[in-house]
Structures are given as structure tokens and as C-alpha cells.
């Protein structure tokens, strides 16, 4: 799509864009229904969405408009603004691209020494093999993300989520998944007769059908009221009418246990079998976005403070020499995660309600451990992708697709399950994962391991400080319930975007949607709650390209869409890339 086509189209009108005050109930509905919809849709990959009983509880009323924006861009502005985007994750990069295409002057400040945030592809310097430390799959329903990739010329291919030859090993029983699909009771769970003979996903679907029915019978609002206070565990055992052994099975085999005590609607269902991935690695997405930008992207530039004035905002960022550098903008778009935003000093301070919403975000940890092998021994077991499950600490083992090397995602854990790897030295973490792989594939793996691997613990990443948001249940209702915070409303000149500001949490597409919404608002020039400071300072724009480019402490991110060089990328203390002689 050429730039000229992107410009000059009418700005789509977003119906019901700003939820007026007092519509907390509506907001909660908008929150819950889409999560349930995505949960159910992702469970049943054969589902015809038009037949879905929840279809009438439409979520994302602006989805088609956002799709248009990602395809055609925004109206070219007549009042270009100086915009500082905080964070070069996918949200920040997408917003920057759309805004600069519309004619605004955009500068991105990124705390890390790389772009991409929680999109982070490991490229092995020795073998060239890749491993996704963050996002790795996109559900087929994420049309906006598919369109974004398409517009950037990225190729997508199938992410192999399931291979019938993979293993499930629990309760000292090890079975191929083609057996578990048909007879999960063989794993030693005392299932009820009606639960026997169904795959774990089928059992989960069985429980979810009750929620679907309630949405049909009660209507969206009443059903939402009913479910939003429940944990996943409460729902499965109560409304879902599953036996305790069946719930245990879902916890062990589908790694649902990490979400048992979190909100039922908020608990993520990563069970879809129709996923895509980006050919060559997910980091090609942020790299392609970067190369489409014209404004500066400053790495190693953590924003530490912001001061709002009547007509502008000053942003302070730290330099590597412990100095502060000040930039000025008309508008700031903040895409850093909740914990990262909490570390920024705001003057005037953020409203109490907003601070509460930030504190109310519940991030679950997520940890990935990759092991490098001399050859893909899983081919001997006829595995061409998919994942094995175990109730050992490693929980899920994902196999790379054929012809893509022998870098194995030996463990992917989230929420409470990630605790098994917390606090371990990198060597200990690698060896723990290796032990679990050996339990499934036999002691031969000890000989085939080439002694290298990588451990990524997102809870310990200083920039994200967590994996992704999964909220606990709503325990009380009030008009200003913190869980219903409307992040679409800016605070003075400060706008918000990022995975935590839209629904369903924890997806790349969610971050993209939030970025597009913020960009639409910024482009339309809307301003909201004015901060109290009204000091009239002379307009002073210090953020232009040349003054920043002169900075000795910041590095401009390189613009080229080719894959990054195969060199060690992990100098950060929270990411460990180890060679051991083990
Ligand atoms: C292990 C894991 C697996 C995942 N798997 C998938 C998946 O398969 N599919 C999927 O769709 N999604 C997945 N996700 C979720 C997805 O990665 C995120 O939702 C998405 O990447 C978030 O993008 P973002 O731009 O909102 O935030 P981020 O990517 O976190 O970007 C925020 C940026 O802000 C920067 N920053 C922070 N503080 C400051 C500061 N003070 N100043 C300047 N910059 C700052 C950070 O360094 C970061 O670059 C996964 C996430 C994890 C952790």
C-alpha cells in the first residue's frame, strides 16, 4: 500500500469511541464479552463466528475501522504535532508509523538497547537458528495484525500448534497426544463418564458451553455480571460442572492451573490450532515498522519524568552518564508497561483514579528456556512441531518446525508455574529444563545437547517487569471500578497505549489496536482533562532530530528490514545466554 493511498482517506468515525462517565457497566461489558469471545473462538478452531451465540455481544465496535486505519492510514493532518512516543514495542512503533504517515513529527524514546519490547527473537550466532523469547503465534482471528504484517511485506506461515505424535506425561504416565485426545482418562485422572473420551480441549469446551448458553439466554449484561467475579477454578468446578479430576487434568495438561485463581473471563485460552507466525522471526515486524519511520528512534533513553503545561509537555530522559535530557512535545504517547509507567514522575501527578488503575494491573510472569541440540532428535519420534506437556517444572516443550534447526523451546511457563525457574542461576535453569526433556525423550538428550541455551524471565526484565496482564476477578462493583479504567481517555497531553490498555490483554494485536486508537485520537487533536499546572512557558521544541542525534548517550536505532546480524544479543543481566560444558 503506497503512502499516497494511505493518506487522504476520510478518518473513520469511531462509534461510541469515548465512554462517557457513569457508563462503567457498559465498559465492563465491553471488557468481558470480547475476552470470552476470544476464549471460546480460540478453543474451537472450527467455530463459525457468525453462528456464535455471543456474536450479538459485539466487542471492539471499532474493529473494522481500525482495520481500515492499518490498511489505509489516517487523514493527513492540517495541524502537525510534535509527538513523543515512549516505548519502541509494537504499540509505540505502530502508533509512530501511523502518526508520521499522517504528517506529525514523531520521536520515539526507548529505554532498552533494542526495539521490539516483548517481541524478541533470539538469533543463535553459531547456527543461525531462531527462538522466540516473547510473542510467537498469532491467532487467525487477529485480522488487524495479519493486515499489518501484509502491509509491511512480511510473510506469514502456519504455526504448528499441535502434532499428534507429541507427548503428555503426567502422574508418571506418558502417552502420545493422539491417545490423550481420545482417552485422557488413561493419564490416571478419575474422570466422570461424560468427561471420558473427550480431548482435554473438548472437556474445556464442554465447561465453556455453559457460559455460552448463559450469554444467549441472559443477554450480555446479565451474563457478564454473573461471571466477572468468578475465578477460572470456580467457574470450571461450578458453572462448568467439571469434576475435580477433570479440572486437575486441564491444569496439568493445558497449563490452566496458572490461571485458576485469576478471573474466569480474563484467563487466557491459548488452545487454538490455527495460528500463524512470521517467516524469519517475529522481530522482523518491529524492524519493518522501524524502517517505515522517518523520525528519530532513540535507544537507551529511559523516560524518567514528565511535566505538563497548558500547551505542551516536557519529557525528561536519563542518559548513560546519569544526566537528564529534556525534550518538549505537544503530545506524549506512553506505551510502557504498567510497572514501568509507575516509575515515571509526573507533574502534576497522575490522577488518583489513574494511579489506582496502574496499580490494579496484574502481570503474570512468563519464562522461556531454549536448549540448543546437535540435531533435532524429536524427528526420530515423528514430531514436526506442536508441543509436549508435562507436569514437571518445564510444563510445555515446543518443537521447531522441520528444517528450522534444533533450538528447542524446552520450557514455556507462565503465572505460578514460572516460579519453578525463578531465582535459579542460568545454568540451573538450563539443566532443569534439560532434565525434563530427558524425562520425555530419554537420556540421549544429554549427549545431544551442545551445552548452550538461553533463559528469558520476563518478570525480571527491567523494562516490562512482567509477562502480560491477566486480571484477578472483579471483587466489588462501583462506578469507578479500577478494573474498568478507560485508557482511551488521555490525561492532558498524555495518551496511553500498550497491551495493558486494551482487551483481550496479552496479545500483540491488542497492543496494535490500542496504538491505532491512540493515533486516531491524537490525529483528531482531541484534548481532555487538563492537568492543573498552567504555567505559561515559551514554546521550546528541543526534540528535533539534529539536537537529539548529537547526543552522545543515545543510539539511533538502525533502519533496515533485513534480519539482524547473527551475533550475541544478550548483554542484559536479565537475559542469559550461556555456554556451559555440561
Ligand atoms: C513470553 C511471552 C509470550 C507471548 N506470546 C505471545 C504470542 O504468542 N502472541 C501474541 O500475540 N502475544 C504474545 N505475547 C504478548 C505480546 O508480546 C505483548 O502483548 C506485546 O508485545 C506488547 O507490546 P507493547 O508495545 O504493548 O509493550 P512492550 O512490547 O512491552 O513495549 C513497551 C516498550 O516500552 C519500553 N519502555 C519501558 N519503560 C520505558 C521508559 N521509562 N522509557 C522509554 N521506554 C520504556 C520497553 O523497553 C518496551 O520496549 C507474549 C508475551 C510474552 C511475555
Query: Regarding predicted confidence, which is higher, 445 or 27?
Result: 445
**Residue 38 — pLDDT band, cuts 50, 70, 90?**
very low
Question: If you take atom 35 of ligand 1, which residue's CA is the nearest one?
Answer: 87
Polymer length of the chain: 582
Query: CA quadruple 213, 217, 220, 222: dihedral positive or negative?
Result: negative
Report the C-alpha gap between 325 and 542 in whole angstroms. 10
| 466-495 pLDDT tens trace | 999 999 888 766 555 544 789 999 999 999
Provide the pLDDT for residue 220. Answer: 82
Rounded Cα distance, 106 and 95, in Å: 9
Q: In this structure, are residues 578 and 122 in contact, taking their beta carbons and an 8 Å threshold?
A: no
**Is residue 110 within 6 Å of ligand 1 at its C-beta?**
yes
Average pLDDT, the chain: 83
> Is the model's pLDDT at 501 over the cut of 50?
yes
More confident residue, 505 or 28: 505
Spacing, Cα 148 to ligand 1 middle (Å): 17
Residue 499 labeled ligand binder = yes
Which atom of ligand 1 sits closest to the CA of residue 109?
43
DSSP symbol at 491: B
User: What does the angle CA 359 – CA 362 – CA 367 come to, to the nearest 5 degrees?
Assistant: 130
Choose the most confident range, by mean pLDDT, from 225-239, 425-439, 531-545. 425-439
| Cα separations in angstroms, 441 against 77, 123, 379, 385 | 59, 25, 11, 15
d(CA 195, CA 492): 54
Give the residue, out of 115, 134, 302, 327, with the most ligand 1 atoms within 8 A of its beta carbon, to mutate for a pocket test: 134
- Centre of ligand 1 to C-alpha 117, Å, is 4
Confidence at residue 395, expressed as pLDDT on a 0 to 100 scale: 97
Q: Is 543 in the pocket of ligand 1 (CB under 6 A)?
A: no
Run of H or E including 448: helix 444-448
Residues with Cβ within 8 Å of residue 525, at least 6 apart in sequence: 77, 79, 81
Q: Which of 130-144, 457-471, 474-488 has the lowest mean pLDDT?
A: 474-488
- Closest atom, ligand 1, to C-alpha of 317: 42
Distance between CA atoms of residues 523 and 495, nearest Å: 12
The verdict on whether omega for the bond into residue 348 sits within 30 degrees of 0, i.e. cis, is: yes
Q: Which of 53-67, 200-214, 422-436, 520-534 has the lowest mean pLDDT?
A: 520-534
Task: Find out whether 59 and 503 touch, Cβ atoms under 8 Å.
Answer: yes
Q: How many CB atoms lie within 10 A of CB 318?
A: 17
Say if residue 271's pLDDT is above 90. no
| Atom 48 of ligand 1, residue of closest alpha carbon | 117
438 has pLDDT over 50: yes
Q: Is the CB of 400 under 6 A from ligand 1?
A: no
User: 415 pLDDT band (50/70/90 cuts)?
Assistant: very high
The annotation status of 295 as a binding-site residue, yes or no, is no
106 labeled binding residue: no
Q: Find out whether 11 and 74 touch, Cβ atoms under 8 Å.
A: yes
Q: How are beta strands 173-176 and 345-347 bridged, if at all?
A: unpaired
- Cβ atoms of 41 and 141 within 8 Å: the answer is yes
332 lines ligand 1 (CB under 6 A): no
335 lines ligand 1 (CB under 6 A): yes
Instruction: Determine which of 250-259, 372-381, 424-433 has the lowest per-residue pLDDT on average.
Output: 250-259
Q: How far apart are the first and last CA of the chain?
A: 51
Q: Tell how far the Cα of 331 is from the centroid of ligand 1, in angstroms.
A: 22
Q: Is 303 annotated as a binding residue?
A: yes
Lookup: cell for 429:
535453569
Which tens digits make up the pLDDT trace of 11-31?
Answer: 222 222 233 333 344 444 444
Tens digits of residue pLDDT in 181-223: 999 999 999 999 999 999 999 999 999 888 888 888 888 888 8
Nearest to 500 by CA among 357, 286, 365: 357
Give the mutation target among 84, 87, 511 for probing the ligand 1 site: most ligand atoms within 8 A of CB. 87
Residue 398 has pLDDT above 60, yes or no: yes
Q: How confident is residue 570, by pLDDT bands cut at 50, 70 and 90?
A: very low
Are the CB atoms for 215 and 53 separated by under 8 Å?
A: yes
Sign of CA dihedral 490, 496, 501, 502: positive
What's the confidence (pLDDT) of residue 270?
A: 38
Q: Verify whether ligand 1 is closer than 6 Å to residue 101 (CB atom).
A: no
Please tell me the distance from the alpha carbon of residue 176 to that of residue 150, in angstroms, as a whole number. Answer: 37
pLDDT at site 54: 54
Inform me whether the pLDDT recorded for 10 exceeds 50: no
Nearest residue (CA) to ligand 1, atom 5: 135
- CA of 351 relative to ligand 1 center, distance in Å: 25
For the CA of 511, the closest atom of ligand 1 is 26
Residue 53 near residue 212, CB atoms below 8 Å: yes
The residues that bridge with 334 in the sheet, in sequence order, are 86, 496
CA of 115 to the centre of ligand 1 (A): 10
Residues 521 and 515: their CA atoms lie apart, in Å, by 10
Q: Indicate whether residue 253 lines ligand 1 (CB < 6 A).
A: no
Q: Are 329 and 104 in contact (CB under 8 A)?
A: no
pTM for this one? 0.85
- The 10 Å Cβ neighbour count of residue 579 is 11
DSSP-assigned beta bridge partners for residue 469: 363
Regarding the beta carbon of 511 and ligand 1, being less than 6 Å apart is answered yes
Contacts of 160 (CB under 8 A, 6+ apart): 384, 385, 386, 399, 401
DSSP-based helix, strand, coil % in the chain, nearest 5: 35, 20, 45
C-alpha of residue 19 to centroid of ligand 1, in Å: 26
What grid cell was written down for 179?
Answer: 491417545
Pocket test for ligand 1, best of 89, 159, 369, 387 (most atoms within 8 A of CB): 89
Give the mean model confidence (pLDDT) for residues 519-536. Answer: 68
CB atoms near residue 283 (< 10 Å): 25
CA angle centred on 471, ends 466 and 473, rounded to 5°: 155
Going by pLDDT thresholds of 50, 70 and 90, the confidence category of residue 40 is: very low
The atom number, within ligand 1, closest to the CA of 466 reads 53
Is 272 one of the annotated binding-site residues?
Answer: no
Quick check: CB of 470 below 6 Å from ligand 1? no
Burial, 157: exposed, middle or buried (Cβ in 10 Å; 0-12, 13-18, 19+)? exposed
Is the pLDDT at 33 greater than 50, yes or no? no
Amino acid at each position: 500500500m503506497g503512502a499516497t493511498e494511505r493518506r487522504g482517506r476520510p478518518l473513520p468515525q469511531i462509534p461510541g469511541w469515548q465512554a462517557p462517565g457513569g457508563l462503567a457497566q457498559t465498559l465492563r461489558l465491553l471488557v468481558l464479552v470480547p475476552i470470552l469471545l476470544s476464549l471460546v473462538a480460540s478453543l474451537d478452531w472450527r467455530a463459525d463466528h457468525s453462528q456464535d451465540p455471543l456474536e450479538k455481544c459485539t466487542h471492539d465496535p471499532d474493529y473494522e475501522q481500525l482495520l481500515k486505519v492499518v490498511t489505509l492510514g489516517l487523514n493527513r493532518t492540517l495541524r502537525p504535532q510534535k509527538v513523543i512516543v515512549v516505548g519502541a514495542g509494537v504499540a509505540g512503533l505502530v502508533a509512530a508509523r501511523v502518526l508520521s504517515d499522517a504528517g506529525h513529527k514523531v520521536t520515539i524514546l526507548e529505554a532498552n538497547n533494542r526495539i521490539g519490547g516483548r517481541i524478541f527473537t533470539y538469533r543463535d550466532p553459531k547456527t543461525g537458528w531462531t527462538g522466540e523469547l516473547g510473542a510467537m503465534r498469532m491467532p487467525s482471528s487477529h485480522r488487524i495484525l495479519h493486515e499489518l504484517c501484509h502491509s509491511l511485506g512480511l510473510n506469514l506461515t502456519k504455526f504448528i500448534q499441535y502434532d499428534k505424535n507429541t507427548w503428555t506425561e503426567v502422574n508418571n504416565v506418558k502417552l502420545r497426544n493422539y491417545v490423550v485426545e481420545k482417552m485422557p482418562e488413561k493419564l490416571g485422572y478419575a474422570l466422570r463418564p461424560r468427561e471420558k473420551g473427550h480431548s482435554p480441549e473438548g472437556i474445556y469446551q464442554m465447561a465453556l458451553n455453559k457460559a455460552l448458553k448463559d450469554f444467549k439466554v441472559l443477554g450480555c449484561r446479565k451474563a457478564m455480571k454473573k461471571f466477572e467475579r468468578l475465578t477460572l477454578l470456580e467457574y470450571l468446578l461450578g458453572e462448568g460442572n467439571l469434576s475435580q479430576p477433570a479440572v486437575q487434568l486441564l491444569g496439568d495438561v493445558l497449563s490452566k492451573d496458572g490461571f485458576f485463581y485469576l478471573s474466569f473471563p480474563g484467563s487466557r485460552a491459548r488452545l487454538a490450532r490455527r495460528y500463524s507466525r512470521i517467516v524469519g522471526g517475529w522481530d522482523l515486524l518491529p524492524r519493518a515498522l522501524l524502517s517505515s519511520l522517518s523520525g528519530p528512534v532513540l535507544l537507551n533513553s529511559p523516560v524518567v519524568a514528565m511535566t505538563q503545561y497548558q500547551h505542551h509537555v516536557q519529557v525528561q530522559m536519563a542518559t548513560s552518564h546519569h544526566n537528564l535530557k529534556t525534550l518538549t512535545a505537544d503530545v506524549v504517547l506512553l506505551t510502557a508497561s504498567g510497572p514501568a509507567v509507575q516509575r515515571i514522575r509526573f507533574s502534576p501527578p497522575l490522577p488518583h483514579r489513574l494511579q489506582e488503575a496502574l496499580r490494579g494491573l496484574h502481570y503474570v510472569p512468563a519464562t522461556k528456556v531454549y536448549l540448543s541440540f546437535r540435531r533435532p532428535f524429536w524427528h526420530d519420534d515423528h514430531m514436526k512441531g506442536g508441543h509436549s506437556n508435562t507436569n514437571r517444572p518445564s510444563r510445555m516443550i515446543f518443537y521447531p518446525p522441520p528444517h528450522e534447526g534444533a533450538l528447542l523451546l524446552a520450557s514455556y511457563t507462565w503465572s505460578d508455574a514460572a516460579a519453578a525457574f525463578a531465582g535459579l542461576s542460568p545454568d540451573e535453569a538450563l539443566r532443569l529444563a534439560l532434565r525434563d526433556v530427558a524425562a520425555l525423550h530419554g537420556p540421549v538428550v544429554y549427549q545431544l545437547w551442545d551445552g548452550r541455551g538461553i533463559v528469558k524471565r520476563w518478570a525480571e526484565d527491567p523494562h516490562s517487569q512482567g509477562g502480560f496482564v491477566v486480571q484477578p476477578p472483579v471483587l466489588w462493583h462501583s462506578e469507578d471500578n479500577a478494573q474498568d479504567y478507560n485508557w482511551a481517555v488521555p490525561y492532558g497531553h498524555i495518551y496511553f497505549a500498550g497491551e495493558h490498555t486494551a482487551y483481550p490483554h496479552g496479545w500483540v494485536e491488542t497492543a496494535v489496536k490500542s496504538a491505532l486508537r491512540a493515533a486516531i485520537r491524537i490525529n483528531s487533536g482531541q484534548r481532555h482533562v487538563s492537568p492543573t499546572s498552567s504555567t505559561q512557558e515559551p514554546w521550546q521544541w528541543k526534540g528535533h532530530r539534529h539536537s537529539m542525534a548529537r547526543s552522545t548517550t543515545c543510539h539511533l536505532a538502525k533502519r533496515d528490514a533485513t534480519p539482524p546480524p547473527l551475533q550475541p544479543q544478550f548483554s542484559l543481566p536479565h537475559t542469559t545466554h550461556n555456554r556451559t560444558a555440561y
